[in-house]
Amino acid sequence: MTLSLSKTVGEIGERGLLRRFRERVPAGPGVVVGVGDDAAAVEIAPLALLTTDSLVEGVHFRRDQAPPRLLGRKALTVNLSDVAAMGGLARYATVSLCLPPDLTLGWVDSLYDGLLERAAESGVALVGGNVARSPGTIVVDVTLVGEAGQLLRRSGARPGDRVVVTGTLGAAAEGVRLLDEGARLDEDGELCATGVWTESSAPAVLACLRAQLDPRPPLALARSIAERGFARAGMDLSDGLSLDLVEICSGGGVGAVLDADLVPVDSRAAGLERARGGDALSLALHGGEDYELLLAVAPEAFEEMGELARVWGVDVTRIGEFVEGEPVVRLRGAGAETLLPPGGHDHFRTAPA
Amino acid sequence: MTLSLSKTVGEIGERGLLRRFRERVPAGPGVVVGVGDDAAAVEIAPLALLTTDSLVEGVHFRRDQAPPRLLGRKALTVNLSDVAAMGGLARYATVSLCLPPDLTLGWVDSLYDGLLERAAESGVALVGGNVARSPGTIVVDVTLVGEAGQLLRRSGARPGDRVVVTGTLGAAAEGVRLLDEGARLDEDGELCATGVWTESSAPAVLACLRAQLDPRPPLALARSIAERGFARAGMDLSDGLSLDLVEICSGGGVGAVLDADLVPVDSRAAGLERARGGDALSLALHGGEDYELLLAVAPEAFEEMGELARVWGVDVTRIGEFVEGEPVVRLRGAGAETLLPPGGHDHFRTAPA
């Protein structure tokens, strides 16, 4: 069936869109029945991982800010991050879309491009698709099925364990600010507008926009860390360090003390924040959507874990310690220790975008 | 945490709602890690089934027509129907909700009531929950993981096979009309308003509203039919007989001829349609959402399948035959044979509710 890319979702209809999806999805290893029957049938290990996460227009993204191809990539990525943070291997995904009738097939095709591309990169087979008309809001809901290896749980942190994060923090939150200032990536993830920023800031703008629109969690490292038993507890940083760390603390019945000076604030985000007179440390502590790993690591395991991380080309940083006490986080800096209120992302509580 | 049921979703926030969900979900067999970590970990058979389906406000339901408890039940049921129609056993579900901030906790709690209750009835463990703020539209998205038995595919129908359906058709579509006329069920699925209808029609109104708001697919029968190999092909009737039968025809490279007189039009729907001067056969052919089974059954297997169905208390009806030719459906009736255009449900193409 040949379809014009300028046709709308409303003209093509639910079945036309599903047919399109079905035609584009390749056969995958382990897929006995793929898209197109009542349910998919897939081969799976005896212990499976399941997670679901959605991207909602006006809450997690804006249509004029997120190119659909990158949106497709991110919808899968946020779930990949969850499976990896459990120490698992992602295998199969189903996608449920709510689409307003005025969207074009071109837009939907780009979304599929991103989903298919990210699935191929991560060895995931897309096995189910559902399309529903939405009165106005786009929703991209992905459920991911993986195979468990050594489980990496949120519980298990003990007093004396190091608080460890991978990568740098704050760039994704900086990306939101940049989008609101008119900076943009095109479909290929290249910079096509710097917004209020001059050309000299372009590399930093690009890096932060990519962190927001096309995050790259350390999937393989997460799995390796779990396999080698290097972390006592772990999760992915999606809601912001201050909030997510309370989760690990609650899970282990411990508190945590962070060193402000040790937090790996993203240098590009820091540069932009300095220029606007903002506070990059606050973005790193509360911003969210970094999709890095937050880990509780026994002191004796830290060095070996660092070596493993270097193999995967990922920085790991010790930013504090778990301590006995209530599940609260204290921040040490400038000679004082203050309570760090959990100030991360809660999409219900923040103002609509 | 004690929460007032009159508090809104916006006041409670994403984390409060997830905590509520987590507190209410019981431990389930096979669940190694349940709600509350990055992903759930579950024990599963080597061949798993995966399906996803969503209910979108303004498209699949209206907030003033569907009590949230029944909505929760139906969100799971439409997925249970898919897994059963593949011959599988449902095991685990994840739920992804998009909720407008003005909804009350009471509403969300009732939705959870329905999900939990239907999960308990069907032996399904809820293992994942995601909650996102929605700018206005409620979306209830469920992904269901099952274990495959003998697979019942959509392909496989051969010329000479019987076209068979379970139960009666048209009541769910009649239910939509009744809702639009002001008829209502309460949270417990009891009739609380007959709309434009008099008390004497109450039993028929109740039956059709229940078919629409709280469908009961023949789950166990579907699995038994697959296990015994009684059907060559099958699927659940969600989009309407005329559309779904074309799917089976396409899958098998065959056509089908239906006998208008044999179609098991729901008698309650027929009575109401007669009273309003409508056409119940059309509802049965095109209405959709019956969640009955549509099967291709070899002539020699039909009788034994009928006996099995009686054991489960389900009616099965032969309504025509598969024939050689193009994947189209012809309708035989009143001495003539006419092409039956696929006129089922396409939520994109129908006008907004």
Query: Are A39 and B146 within 8 A, CB to CB?
Result: yes
Average pLDDT score over residue span B155-184: 98
CA of residue B44 relative to chain centroid, distance: 24
pLDDT (0 to 100) of residue B195: 96
Q: Are B204 and B272 contacting, i.e. CB atoms less than 8 angstroms apart? A: yes
Which H or E run contains A48? strand A47-56
pLDDT (0 to 100) of residue A209: 98
What are the tokens at A31? 């897929």
**Pairing, β B125-133 against β B89-99:** parallel
The CATH number of the structural domain formed by A162-339 is 3.90.650.10
Average pLDDT score over residue span B13-39: 92
pLDDT digits (tens, 9 = 90+) for B104-161: 999 999 999 999 999 999 999 999 989 999 989 999 999 999 999 999 999 999 999 9
> Which of A14, A143, A146 minimises the CB distance to B94?
A143
Task: Single out the residue of B101, B82, B98, B99 nearest to residue B90, CA to CA.
Answer: B82
| DSSP result, A5-31 | TTSBHHHHHHHHHHHHHHHHPPP-TTE
**Pairing, β B89-99 against β B47-56:** unpaired
d(CA B103, CA B9): 6
Predicted complex: ipTM over 0.95 = no
Residue ranges, comma separated, of all CATH 3.30.1330.10 domains in chain A are 9-147
From the number of C-beta atoms within 10 Å of its C-beta (0-12, 13-18, 19+), residue B312 rates as middle
pLDDT digits (tens, 9 = 90+) for B258-274: 999 999 999 999 999 99
Residue of chain A with shortest Cα separation from B136: A137
The whole-model pTM stands at 0.95
Instruction: Tally the C-alpha atoms within 13 A of residue A12's C-alpha that lie toward its C-beta.
Output: 31
Residue of chain B with shortest Cα separation from A18: B346
Between the alpha carbon of residue A49 and those of residues A184, B43, B302, the distances in Å are 35, 9, 40
Residue ranges, comma separated, of all CATH 3.90.650.10 domains in chain B are 162-339
From the number of C-beta atoms within 10 Å of its C-beta (0-12, 13-18, 19+), residue A298 rates as middle
> Which of B9, B51, B128 minimises the CB distance to A39?
B51
Average pLDDT score over residue span B280-302: 96
Query: Are A86 and B37 within 8 A, CB to CB?
Result: yes
Query: Are A40 and B50 within 8 A, CB to CB?
Result: yes
Share of chain B above pLDDT 70, in %: 97
pLDDT (0 to 100) of residue B351: 37
Q: Are A13 and A26 contacting, i.e. CB atoms less than 8 angstroms apart? A: no
Which H or E run contains B165? strand B162-166
Class of B12-147 per CATH? alpha beta
Query: Are B348 and A94 within 8 A, CB to CB?
Result: no
The CATH number of the structural domain formed by A9-147 is 3.30.1330.10
Task: Single out the residue of A120, A145, A112 nearest to residue A43, CA to CA.
Answer: A145
Which H or E run contains A106? helix A105-122
- What order do you get walking across the sheet with A40-43 strand by strand? A31-33, A40-43, B47-56, B139-147, B89-99, B125-133
Query: Are B56 and A10 within 8 A, CB to CB?
Result: no
| DSSP result, A61-100 | B-TTTS-HHHHHHHHHHHHHHHHHHTT-EEEEEEEEEEE-
Task: Single out the residue of B307, B45, B99, B72 nearest to residue A44, CA to CA.
Answer: B45
d(CA A78, CA A61): 13
Instruction: Give the residue carrying structure tokens 């591309």.
Output: A117
Query: Are B9 and A98 within 8 A, CB to CB?
Result: no
Each of the 353 residues of chain A gets a pLDDT tens digit; together they read 567 889 999 999 888 898 889 999 998 999 999 999 999 999 999 999 999 999 999 999 999 999 999 999 999 999 999 999 999 999 999 999 999 999 999 999 999 999 999 999 999 999 998 999 998 999 999 999 999 999 999 999 999 999 999 999 999 999 999 999 999 999 999 999 999 999 999 999 999 999 999 999 999 999 999 999 999 999 999 999 999 999 999 999 999 999 999 999 999 999 999 999 999 999 999 999 999 999 999 999 999 999 999 999 999 999 999 999 999 999 999 889 999 988 755 555 443 33
**Pairing, β A255-259 against β A329-333:** parallel
Average pLDDT score over residue span B165-175: 98
**Helical packing angle, A302-311 and A219-228, nearest 10°:** 140
pLDDT digits (tens, 9 = 90+) for B195-243: 999 999 999 999 999 999 999 999 999 999 999 999 999 999 999 999 9
CB contacts of B37 in chain A (<8 Å) are 86, 153-154, 235
